[in-house]
């Protein structure tokens, strides 16, 4: 009997997946991997070949699932990837306790329709929608891929299907990063040639009201630079003897926030400009000493720029901010000197990369001592989380080099997503054309091709476009690299697989109004996916 081939059974599977409250890092995230593994055991192929279905532990005790369905001696293999973690539900307000019960939450939304945001009301008039955390991002995609695996089990495809579903995509993508060497190993062990990696992340809107259905051939890249501002402490009664880190961070933020110089344009696709994700001083309690250390963190997206190019651009922007800080200080000090006999002395604000700061600290205190200090921090302050832990490590080095201050230090935090795109891959481009024609002719659905999926995805780790040497500027400027964060560079270089993303239709990922349109997702797309896979196996 078929398990997941109708809209109703897919909806049921979706609700079972959503009921596992698999918020990134929570225990149900582990449980859901086991549930998916358990469900797939029912497929005939895995009953006959149980060794082809596996739960793999990650280094931090979570799990990811692989299921390989081989078709005779065929080598061509399509990888289907998905993530089963979701973001938290703090945004649900009074609906929080229903966030993981899609049937009940949907009923509640329909009951209170007049109180819903206008876009939700409009959507509900024209389609069949279901609500719940993860319905769109991306448990519907998992349900569809499980359905494709069931088809493979009954011999639908000429080649092989490798199903992979991972945790932690919404945080650091540890699941996918650790799955990369496993994929490389499986290719050797089972003699597989990966023709493509197909993700089914949902369609994201590019602007409010965007109704396009996108078909992606890549995924946008992301860096998370931090700017550590080391000023100079002083008492509020004598402010011109010091430099306030909150003011320094404010100038850096002013320079970077929404700065269109960082927007890349590729074939009419534009990366959103940088925006701030966190800004704070590191003063722990109130006192009349000015905050002299602070940090500001930015989301920076990219498509074709190298890490080095982005680093250079960031350094240039921060140097501009540094000159402005110096100028502002001198201007204010000069004004103050009119009121009181005092000769203003200009400040020089140094701008360094983390690598330069580290080198300076090693010169002053020796390699062994610096390593000891860094190991100590990373062993004893894990609870801070990756971002604050990185800041702490920079703070320690900056304090050792305090005579070089005031200074601003650029450093990188996890997560990192390399941009990937198969836009120059003729096989993928031809496939996209065929899928577009098919969806138009068969369903009267006009798919729109887009090079880069804008929502960040695990495809980033499947088709590393550049050599591993180009990652060097990231590694040497990331305090946590080699501590709690590493990339399997050798495996990443070996796993160069063309990428595509064709997923369901939803709205408002990461908002409480997250919703999935059922007719397109579980009828139209469900019919189009086998065609797409067959094309990728051709």
Contacting residues toward Zn ion, per CB under 5 A: 137-138, 201
Three-class DSSP category at 509: coil
Tokens (6 digits) for 428? 């993928």
Q: Kindly state the smallest distance separating residue 172's Cβ from Zn ion, in Å.
A: 14
Cβ-based nearer residue to Zn ion, 294 or 503: 503
- Please name the residues in contact with 98: beta carbons below 8 A apart, sequence gap of 6 or more: 92, 104, 105, 108, 132
> Which residue sits closest to Zn ion, CB atoms considered?
137
Q: Tabulate helix, strand, coil % of the chain (nearest 5).
A: 45, 20, 30
Three-class DSSP category at 355: helix
Q: Kindly state the smallest distance separating residue 176's Cβ from Zn ion, in Å.
A: 11
Q: Kindly state the smallest distance separating residue 136's Cβ from Zn ion, in Å.
A: 8
Backbone angles phi, psi at 29, to 5 degrees: -65, -40
Cβ-based nearer residue to Zn ion, 58 or 165: 165
Cβ-based nearer residue to Zn ion, 83 or 392: 83
Three-class DSSP category at 411: strand
Cβ-based nearer residue to Zn ion, 135 or 314: 135
Q: Kindly state the smallest distance separating residue 453's Cβ from Zn ion, in Å.
A: 9
CB 130 within 8 A of CB 8: no
In angstroms, what CA-CA distances link 225 with 33, 279, 301, 415, 493? 32, 12, 11, 10, 24
Q: Kindly state the smallest distance separating residue 128's Cβ from Zn ion, in Å.
A: 22
Q: Kindly state the smallest distance separating residue 32's Cβ from Zn ion, in Å.
A: 14
Cβ-based nearer residue to Zn ion, 204 or 347: 204
Question: Containing H/E element for 448?
Answer: strand 447-450
DSSP 232: B
Backbone angles phi, psi at 167, to 5 degrees: -90, 180
Backbone angles phi, psi at 224, to 5 degrees: -125, 80
CB 216 within 8 A of CB 451: yes
Q: Kindly state the smallest distance separating residue 428's Cβ from Zn ion, in Å.
A: 21
Cβ-based nearer residue to Zn ion, 171 or 445: 171
Cβ-based nearer residue to Zn ion, 204 or 262: 204
Q: Kindly state the smallest distance separating residue 17's Cβ from Zn ion, in Å.
A: 13
Cβ-based nearer residue to Zn ion, 102 or 473: 102
Judge if the upstream peptide bond of residue 406 is cis by omega within 30 degrees of 0: yes
Output the DSSP codes for 366-408: -HHHHHHHHHHHHHH-GGGHHHHHHHHHHHHHHHHTGGG-SEE
Q: Kindly state the smallest distance separating residue 514's Cβ from Zn ion, in Å.
A: 11
Indicate if the alpha-carbon torsion angle 106, 112, 116, 118 is positive or negative: positive
Distance of CA 455 to the CA centre of its chain: 7
Cβ-based nearer residue to Zn ion, 138 or 162: 138
Q: Kindly state the smallest distance separating residue 83's Cβ from Zn ion, in Å.
A: 6
Cβ-based nearer residue to Zn ion, 150 or 201: 201
In angstroms, what CA-CA distances link 285 with 249, 282, 290, 382, 395? 19, 9, 11, 22, 17
- The label of the residue with tokens 């929502």 reads 455
Q: How many other β-carbons are positioned within 10 Å of the β-carbon of residue 75?
A: 14
Cβ-based nearer residue to Zn ion, 136 or 361: 136
Q: Kindly state the smallest distance separating residue 414's Cβ from Zn ion, in Å.
A: 17
Measured distance CA(315)–CA(412) in Å, rounded: 12
Cβ-based nearer residue to Zn ion, 169 or 404: 169
Measured distance CA(320)–CA(348) in Å, rounded: 13
In angstroms, what CA-CA distances link 136 with 38, 254, 391, 457, 475? 23, 35, 34, 14, 33
Q: Kindly state the smallest distance separating residue 28's Cβ from Zn ion, in Å.
A: 17
């Amino acid at each position: 009997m078929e398990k997941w081939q109708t809209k109703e059974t897919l909806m049921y599977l979706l609700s079972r997946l959503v009921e596992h409250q698999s918020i990134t890092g929570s225990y149900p995230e582990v449980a859901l991997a086991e549930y998916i593994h358990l469900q797939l055991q029912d497929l005939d192929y895995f009953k006959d070949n149980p060794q082809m279905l596996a739960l793999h532990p990650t280094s931090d005790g979570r799990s990811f699932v692989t299921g390989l369905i081989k078709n005779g001696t065929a080598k061509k293999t399509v990888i289907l990837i998905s993530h089963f973690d979701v973001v938290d539900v703090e945004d649900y307000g009074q609906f929080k306790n229903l966030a993981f019960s899609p049937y009940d939450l949907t009923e509640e939304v329909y009951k209170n329709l007049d109180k819903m945001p206008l876009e939700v009301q409009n959507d509900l008039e024209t389609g069949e929608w279901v609500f719940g955390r993860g319905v769109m991002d991306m448990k519907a995609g998992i349900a569809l891929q499980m359905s494709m695996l069931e088809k493979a089990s009954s011999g639908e495809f000429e080649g092989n299907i490798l199903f992979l579903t991972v945790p932690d995509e919404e945080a650091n993508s540890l699941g996918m990063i650790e799955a990369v060497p496993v994929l490389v190993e499986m290719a050797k062990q089972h003699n597989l040639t990966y023709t493509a990696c197909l993700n089914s992340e949902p369609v994201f809107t590019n602007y409010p009201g965007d109704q396009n259905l996108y078909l992606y051939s890549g995924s946008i890249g992301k860096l998370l630079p931090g700017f550590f501002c080391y000023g100079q402490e002083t008492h509020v009664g004598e402010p011109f003897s010091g430099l306030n880190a909150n003011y320094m961070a404010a100038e850096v933020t002013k320079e970077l926030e929404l700065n269109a110089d960082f927007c890349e344009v590729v074939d009419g696709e534009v990366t959103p400009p940088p925006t701030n994700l966190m800004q704070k001083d590191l003063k722990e309690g109130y006192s009349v000493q000015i905050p002299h250390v602070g940090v500001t963190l930015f989301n920076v997206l990219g498509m074709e720029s190298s890490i080095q190019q982005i680093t250079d651009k960031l350094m240039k922007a921060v140097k501009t901010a540094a000159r402005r800080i110096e100028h502002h200080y001198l201007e204010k000090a000069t004004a103050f000197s009119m009121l009181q006999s005092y000769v203003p002395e200009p400040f020089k604000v140094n701008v360094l990369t983390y690598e330069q700061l580290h080198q300076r600290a090693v010169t002053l205190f020796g390699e062994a001592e610096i390593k000891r200090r860094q190991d100590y921090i990373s062993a004893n302050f894990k609870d801070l989380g990756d971002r604050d832990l990185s800041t702490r490590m920079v703070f320690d080095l900056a304090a050792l080099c305090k005579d070089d201050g005031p200074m601003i230090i650029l450093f990188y935090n996890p997560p990192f997503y390399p941009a990937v795109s198969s836009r120059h891959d003729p096989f993928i481009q031809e496939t996209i054309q065929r899928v577009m024609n098919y969806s138009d002719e068969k369903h009267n659905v006009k798919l729109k091709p887009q090079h880069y999926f804008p929502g960040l995805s695990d495809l980033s780790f499947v088709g590393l476009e550049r050599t591993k040497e180009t990652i060097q500027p990231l590694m040497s400027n990331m305090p946590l690299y080699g501590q709690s964060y590493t990339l399997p560079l050798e495996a990443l270089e070996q796993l160069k697989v063309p990428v595509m993303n064709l997923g369901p239709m939803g709205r408002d990922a990461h908002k409480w109004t997250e919703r999935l349109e059922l007719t397109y997702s579980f009828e139209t797309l469900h019919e189009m996916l086998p065609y797409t896979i067959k094309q990728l196996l051709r």
